Structure 1
């Protein structure tokens, strides 16, 4: 079934649909993706990445419907009176790809129960979703004439993504007619029940709906879907305009009041990043790509944090390393970048996805994936209850602790898409009938390539992002000519590629190289990405140590305490066992290679977990303690520096050797250091 579906994708996918359709000069002129997504069944994670997914399956991702009452009790997406809004679709948005990435039959059956109910209970008009109040109490039949008896468009946008992924994995023949019927209903209903009728959430997140309508257009070629996409865009927040207009991001940096806060909400922003790319895909208008480039660069300049994500606690909140970021913002930004990469082929967004994934994502959940932080902080010198410096301090002061239900539970439901969708976007199909490795982690991909669509398998063996070597082993039933696209990250000064032990190409970073040759069964490709140590400049003249795709934070042994809060249940606080108030010596910034020592620690095995005990790399650095750098109102305000980047206050005389470890392995840390002489 999966093989047949792959054939369908290559023959009926977005590219062929766009190239075969003729549109008038007045109509939008869609453009093909630079790289096409592969079916969900094509990529099988291996090594440490597979183990991460297994942890998720054994934890909340695989069992949220059993342990979280809002999802488990009388669920509206199964016909009950319980949760009928976003949290169940959020959970399924990660649980569905997980079920098929791991080929877990039990989990597949679990998630299919929801998908089947949704499809089988579509109304004759095309409307779908949980039973509404008017349907239940007034026996109203929802159609275009009485669309007001329906319910919020927003959770349906998430459920459409769920069903699309289910289709990618199964090729269930019910899905295309289901979506076609719904979008025909929506096109008419939006005229009297616009996107923002029920909630501003739908208007702020309309790009998800636009994206799904355009996906179906790529399969059916139904031009009314482009009309629908344009209508949804016109009724939604104008993110493409805002991202291209610096007034928006400057205003977001300056204002933290209640005026237009939905425009500053970090999760909305994370979702909105893909909006210009999606609009470009539909219209072919390059102004959208310019808006995306301007907006993303401005966003990371004014609000960027060392671990690769912008601040958002909940609003965008500047680039001070004491600001927080919501877990939902990270996973939604990752997904947006994965869509942007396919549409634009721009390596900047590939680099951004990598940095975010390997640094910001793993630190915000516990080892067993059963507890999460609502907000993480870059310089997080303790994890505890408090108000911190968040734009949403939350009355119960639970936004910074690790708990299942701490903070708002949207992240408990939504965090599951981070690792799963990253795994499904390690490879893309290239338009020249080849394959593209645009992000790296251990996995195995099977796809059809070349003129004759020969099915090949490439096994990617690596402990990346910790190791600089990536090996690909090719299996093919016959010799086959096809191009293999390999991304060379921008941080890499000079990459080297060998085939069967012979050097074939070198390349500087920030490029995608293409190996187009006649491949044979058993061919071995080796990609070497030398990782040099470096430092980067962040908010308040702070410095972060980097090596390859990873940023490094001060290693602080941890003390964990389990506590309980009446409304939000059990949670964990974490405190450091040693001092954290260090400044890096100036000589490290001037010459990182000569003054930073990289030490190899524990090997990365197939059972690797992102924690302090398993940190596979350490960097030794020279530092001095800053006695007056202390905690104020639960955070460690960054010491003031001069324009040359130096802290000029009182220092300890002793030079100490501190140990840095990958940020993603830490829970308490300093990652943005002041610089001292």
Structure 2
């Protein structure tokens, strides 16, 4: 094959001439349609603080990574060049594409579309796609089923399929379905000679992403061979469903930190793998897979869970001590997995888990301008600096903890963009009975055609949630239309109050999704009140975290930022606390939190940023210093307590009022507090 012709598109498979002949829907007893469907990309318009966050991303690296990061900028392989042809460009697009349509940003849409256009327009006649391979460029080889060795790793293509799938839901570009059909035909025929793990273990460990996309296409076309392909990929991939359900794997991961089977413990792999049982359930209808998710997620969070709602992973799973780190990629991939699990299963437990992870773990790991990130964050993080800390992967340059654009591995620089964008895209889902479901909350407007008459309906969701406890939905429609509206009552809420047009309609306990089925008229308003009493939760070594609603609160420490430079990883920031951090909460806070914690809710800032200056909620708590609790090599190892949960070492006599703010607004902090006696001995 003449690779120059391929670059110009002259030798590319002509998709525009491809006629899409979808078969009649086949009866497939095993396949289970998702409980909730995704709304088209672009039908949700974020507002308020959530839009502020997305605009920051658009103005920062999400909108401009291809201009400021040489690996993506220079001679990009996904545009026909010799540069990046692996995961980082698709990773970036996986967040930049939804951002472009959530903000209706035409300039960003055109920027990301050129990568999609090149990928589609340069699909090989065999169905293979992706950057020009060395075999094509250097030897003029043609990638066919018989010559699949001339291709390259399956893994980056899994990410690009997600990119193109999202683009399709926004545009319905007629090229996409035949492009995917042709590729999946090629893949089905090639996997015996070139199995999923032929080039890297990354593809083998992340096969669920490939399975998921084949099954998404099956949901549209009902082509049985897509389920055949999905089953084949699953058989060649890591056995995550089996491991999650059997318990031995997660226990072994807690006990073993050697280099043996480290890909099985790699936190990003685990985050991606969480959806694997749900995806397998969707294809097979086997209830065992639902049990596998339940068992695996519970075990994972019990043995490795941290107060901010994510598991440790630095890079390996590393236990539940609040001094362990979590990789940013692991957070955004776990969020995406939970979004898929929610759609497939409809289980409210995972809706709550997504909310906790998003509002707590995600925000503090990037700078205000979204141009720098931490590779690993720590729960009890008393300094951000160069060092080894308690991580399982320190790197020789000790750059995993600092805030930098290129610090640590740059996978997170490329991949962090899907976190907020996909959360915003999954505020709403559709229901099988033609309704809508608000399963996560944030300020936005949704516009869709509803009811048998396909009447355009806009629902304006007005709220400062998760900082405040009220969410209001206003229906805007030219004529009355009937459809069911589902609302999640979070598990942390004791009793929600639902009002319609100012009149209380019902009260419901938490941990469920309720349905309001009625004919909606212009101006109808639903108010969801989710009272947020303060409480505490127990973590490693009997430490306690303070919570209110979905937010976890951490000690407010003034920050001293210092800029540095590394020859290989560029500019970075270290952050140090101004003031003491070695406090224990008084026992009475744990015993009677509502009586001993004072909450102050401030007006929401006009332009919100997740930082100390903009924190809209503060909690005052009585505490005492623990003089012997000091950092060692930058690590604040948790003081030992007795079984009763009380620290019995030396404690200061004086009680002080400390201020707590949302964890997501902090960079240095204590979130898992020891508990000390009310009265000093």
TM-score of the superposed pair, with normalisation by structure 2: 0.96
Whether 1:647 and 2:647 are equivalent positions in the alignment is yes
Contact 2:605 2:614 in 1 (8 A): no
Contact 1:47 1:605 in 2 (8 A): no
- What SS class does the counterpart of residue 629 from structure 2 fall into? coil
CA drift of 1:342 comes to 0.3
CA drift of 1:37 comes to 0.4
CA drift of 1:606 comes to 4.3
Aligned match of 2:99 = 98
Alignment of 1:344-383 (within 5 A): 344-383=345-384
- What SS class does the counterpart of residue 145 from structure 1 fall into? coil
CA drift of 1:530 comes to 0.4
Task: Please list the CA deviations of residues 194-231 of structure 1 after superposition, one character each: whole Å capped at 9, or x if unmatched.
Answer: 00000000000000000000001111111100000000
Task: Please list the CA deviations of residues 333-389 of structure 1 after superposition, one character each: whole Å capped at 9, or x if unmatched.
Answer: 000000000000000000000000000000000000000000000000010000000
Aligned match of 1:484 = 485
Aligned match of 2:55 = 54
CA drift of 1:604 comes to 1.6
Distance 1:189 1:540 in 2: 51
- What SS class does the counterpart of residue 488 from structure 2 fall into? strand
Could you tell me which runs of 5 or more consecutive residues in structure 2 were left unpaired when the two chains were aligned. 1-21
- What SS class does the counterpart of residue 188 from structure 1 fall into? helix
Aligned match of 2:621 = 621
CA drift of 1:632 comes to 1.3
Distance 2:388 2:23 in 1: 52
CA drift of 1:448 comes to 2.3
Contact 1:625 1:651 in 2 (8 A): yes
- The alignment of Structure 1 onto Structure 2 pairs a total of residues equal to 656
Contact 1:17 1:219 in 2 (8 A): no
Distance 1:111 1:151 in 2: 23
CA drift of 1:480 comes to 1.1
Aligned match of 1:181 = 182
Aligned match of 1:238 = 239
CA drift of 1:434 comes to 0.6
Alignment of 1:23-34 (within 5 A): 23=28, 29-34=30-35
Shift in CA distance, 17/34, structure 1 to aligned 2, threshold 3 Å = farther
Aligned match of 1:156 = 157
Contact 1:93 1:161 in 2 (8 A): yes
Aligned match of 2:632 = 632
Task: Please list the CA deviations of residues 136-185 of structure 1 after superposition, one character each: whole Å capped at 9, or x if unmatched.
Answer: 11100000001011000000000000000110111100000000000000
Could you tell me which runs of 5 or more consecutive residues in structure 1 were left unpaired when the two chains were aligned. 1-15
Alignment of 1:120-135 (within 5 A): 120-135=121-136
Shift in CA distance, 606/192, structure 1 to aligned 2, threshold 3 Å = farther
Aligned match of 2:587 = 586
Alignment of 1:49-128 (within 5 A): 49-128=50-129
Contact 2:605 2:616 in 1 (8 A): no
Aligned match of 2:9 = none
Distance 2:353 2:32 in 1: 24
Distance 1:450 1:119 in 2: 35
Distance 1:194 1:400 in 2: 37
Task: Please list the CA deviations of residues 232-277 of structure 1 after superposition, one character each: whole Å capped at 9, or x if unmatched.
Answer: 0000000000000110000000000000000000000000000000
Aligned match of 2:319 = 318
Aligned match of 1:428 = 429
Whether 1:22 and 2:27 are equivalent positions in the alignment is yes
Contact 1:119 1:174 in 2 (8 A): yes
Point out 4+ residue stretches in structure 1 off by more than 6 angstroms.
none
Alignment of 1:257-656 (within 5 A): 257-601=258-602, 603-656=603-656
Contact 1:56 1:368 in 2 (8 A): yes
- What SS class does the counterpart of residue 123 from structure 1 fall into? coil
CA drift of 1:454 comes to 2.2
Distance 2:177 2:500 in 1: 42
Distance 1:36 1:521 in 2: 25
Task: Please list the CA deviations of residues 308-343 of structure 1 after superposition, one character each: whole Å capped at 9, or x if unmatched.
Answer: 000000000000000000000000000000000000
- What SS class does the counterpart of residue 146 from structure 2 fall into? helix
- What SS class does the counterpart of residue 144 from structure 1 fall into? coil
TM-score of the superposed pair, with normalisation by structure 1: 0.96
CA drift of 1:453 comes to 2.7
Contact 1:142 1:149 in 2 (8 A): yes
Distance 2:572 2:256 in 1: 32
Distance 1:177 1:431 in 2: 26
Distance 2:23 2:556 in 1: 52
Whether 1:43 and 2:17 are equivalent positions in the alignment is no
Aligned match of 1:7 = none
CA drift of 1:540 comes to 1.4
Distance 2:433 2:219 in 1: 18
Distance 2:645 2:624 in 1: 15
Distance 1:113 1:540 in 2: 52
CA drift of 1:518 comes to 1.3
Distance 2:127 2:606 in 1: 46
Task: Please list the CA deviations of residues 591-610 of structure 1 after superposition, one character each: whole Å capped at 9, or x if unmatched.
Answer: 10101010123x22341100
Aligned match of 1:666 = 666
Shift in CA distance, 529/653, structure 1 to aligned 2, threshold 3 Å = same
Contact 2:314 2:325 in 1 (8 A): yes
Contact 2:33 2:219 in 1 (8 A): no
Aligned match of 1:226 = 227
- What SS class does the counterpart of residue 82 from structure 2 fall into? coil
Aligned match of 1:202 = 203
Contact 1:273 1:336 in 2 (8 A): yes
Contact 1:310 1:319 in 2 (8 A): yes
Contact 1:621 1:660 in 2 (8 A): yes
- What SS class does the counterpart of residue 356 from structure 1 fall into? helix
Contact 1:360 1:664 in 2 (8 A): yes
CA drift of 1:450 comes to 2.3
Contact 1:94 1:417 in 2 (8 A): yes
CA drift of 1:34 comes to 0.7
Task: Please list the CA deviations of residues 556-589 of structure 1 after superposition, one character each: whole Å capped at 9, or x if unmatched.
Answer: 0000111111100100000011000000000010
Task: Please list the CA deviations of residues 392-416 of structure 1 after superposition, one character each: whole Å capped at 9, or x if unmatched.
Answer: 0111000000000000000000000
- What SS class does the counterpart of residue 254 from structure 2 fall into? helix
RMSD: 1.0
Distance 2:519 2:87 in 1: 48
Distance 1:527 1:451 in 2: 27
CA drift of 1:17 comes to 9.9
